[in-house]
Structure 1
Amino acid sequence: MQDSRKFLRPEAIKRISRLDLRARYIVEGFLSGMHRSPYFGQSIEFRQHRQYAPGDDLRYVDWKVWAKQDRFYVKQFEEDTNLRCALLCDVSASMRYGRGALNKYEYACTIAASLAYLQLRQQDAVGCVAFDESERMVIPLRSKRNHLDSIVKALEMSDPREKTDLFQILRNATESYPRRGMMVLISDLFVDRAGLFRGLRLLRSRG
């Protein structure tokens, strides 16, 4: 088995200048190292039975129920919605610093692009906010493969500067992405801790 961690080594990542290719390199290499399929997509779950009516698809007749009750019932299903994931990427001035092959800003952009690529590969919807004290750029949730280009462009155009107002960012994120989903915060957390916890409590209250 390949060691999937080798695809996360800074020296290897740094050699790939294009962020979109870097994301593909990490995700494809990591998944191949784990020997797991990256495709999950939508799933269908059983919800309930209802009595058979003429014209119903016979494929959904529950023959086990018929054997017990001598009546025809069909299964009804509901479709799980795919994951909605919003990436919140800190591009404030403190992210410019770091030791080694990549600074914190480059790490953050690489993580965000890799997660975006993974979500889109799984046909999930992903969006992105590049922020410092305000939103530099807000990319809406989309599930099309070419949406990665929009996210990468937003990240690459973000020159680290200014401070971070994380409470305001988290509050605005709940308005930019009002539907229930997952939010991933990528930051060095050089922020006001009270504001951070207020923002996290707000996210929790919104579900």
Structure 2
Amino acid sequence: MNKEKTVLSPEWSSRIRRYSLQSKSRIRGQHKGSHRSKYLGSSLEFSDFREYHPGDDVRQLDWNVLARTEKYFIKRFLDEQEMRVHILLDTTKSMAQEEKWKVAKQLTVALGSMVLNKDDHLSFSYVNNTTLPPFRKKGARFQKAFEQAVAKLEKPDTKGNFARNALTVIPKDLTVLIIISDGLEHLEEWQIFFKQLPKLAGDVRFLQLQSAEEMAPSYTGDVQLVDMETKEPLNVSMSQAVLTSYQQMRMAHQKQLEALCHQYGIAFLSIKVNDGIQHILFQQLTKAYWIR
């Protein structure tokens, strides 16, 4: 029997259940979830039941259902609305570096699990050379299915431009859109992409992944570099002047990418994959108030 692929250990999955994705964006739609509307009053109407989870208001327990089923259920009302969260993962070849790809998948599963665990609507997609239906589910019971879907993703090898093609795989009418990418494509492409995003979601976030090798290359002497996207080779003598020039170009790209995000109201967070998933989740993302 083949063992199911996993991205996070059971211990991690248990810890993640204590956290939730935060958003100040207006919750869209009339679908029922775990987020209370600001508008309380006579409009509250009974909708249906859901299983009781620790932390729920015990005053909403339905004792008649308990007597019939011997299970705890709470009443849900129409003021409890869902968040609609979409995670977009960059699977182009520049993401193929082992540690970067590992952390990208871990973040995808962790954030998606937080969404599902709060009875919110999660969708997930990536730009691919073939047409694949995106993951669209709601509720904690789909956490394992979501993790398996991400775990099955092979090493990134998507051809083409991520920013240019991403709009084709993003649904509309979202509460939160999370983009996980290394942000290495041309700034002109990002600007065209970012300009369209406020129409799709009230809360857009760009999570940039950077590796230690990208930030501070350790190459010395005469080397042949190969572009991961085009496979074109380039012979370079790695002198101090070349390294200095690279760092200047990298920092300029970084600052302009962050400035573009700010221009279009996109929350930007750059992380070092070598810091590890624990530090990224429970230090950086909590400090940025993305989760709590």
Q: TM-score, normalised by structure 2?
A: 0.44
What secondary structure does 1:106 align onto? helix
Q: Are the aligned partners of 1:130 and 1:155 in contact in 2 as well (CA < 8 Å)? A: no
TM-fit CA distance, 1:48: 6.8
1:118 to 114, 117, 127: 114
Instruction: Give the equivalent residue in structure 2 for 1:58.
Output: none
- Uncovered stretches (5+) of structure 1, i.e. residues with no partner: 1-16, 32-39, 51-76
Which deviates the most, 153-162 or 113-122? 153-162
Q: CA deviation at 1:164?
A: 4.7
Structure 2 residue aligned with 1:104:
100
Equivalence for 2:142: 147
Structure having the higher strand fraction is: 2
Aligned to 2:9: 21
**Structure 1 counterpart of 2:34, from 26, 36, 41:** 41
1:110, CA displacement in angstroms?
A: 0.1
Q: Are residues 46 and 146 of structure 1, via their aligned partners in 2, closer, same or farther at CA, if it must alter by over 3 Å?
A: closer
Does structure 1 retain, via aligned residues, the 8 Å contact 2:37–2:81?
no
> Cα 1:192–1:153, aligned 2, differ >3 Å: closer, same or farther?
farther
The residue type paired with residue 151 of structure 1 is F
| 1:150/1:194 CA distance change after superposition, 3 Å | farther
Q: Which sections of structure 2, spanning at least 5 residues, go unmatched?
A: 20-32, 44-76, 202-292
| Deviations 1:14-44 (CA, angstroms, capped at 9, x unpaired) | xxx821536515525x75xxxxxxxx92314
Q: Report the alpha carbon displacement of residue 80 of structure 1 after superposing the two structures with TM.
A: 4.8
SS for the counterpart of 1:46 is coil
Q: How does 1:171-186 map to 2 (within 5 A)?
A: 171-174=167-170, 177-186=171-180
Match of 2:181 among 179, 183, 187: 187
Paired AA for residue 114 in structure 1: A
Shift of 1:170: 3.0
Runs of 4 or more above 4 Å deviation: 47-50, 132-137
Number of equivalenced pairs: 149
Take 2:131 and 2:182, find their aligned partners in 1: how far apart are those partners?
17
**Aligned pair 1:204/2:198, yes or no?**
yes
Q: Which residue of 2 aligns with 1:92?
A: 92
CA contact (8 A) 1:167 1:195 kept: yes
Query: In the alignment, is the contact (CA less than 8 A) between 1:93 and 1:161 conserved in 2?
Result: yes
* Cα distance in structure 2, aligned partners of 1:190 and 1:137: 26
Would you tell me which structure has more helix in proportion to its own residues? Answer: 1
1:133 Cα offset (Å): 5.8
Residue 186 of structure 1 aligns to which amino acid in structure 2? I
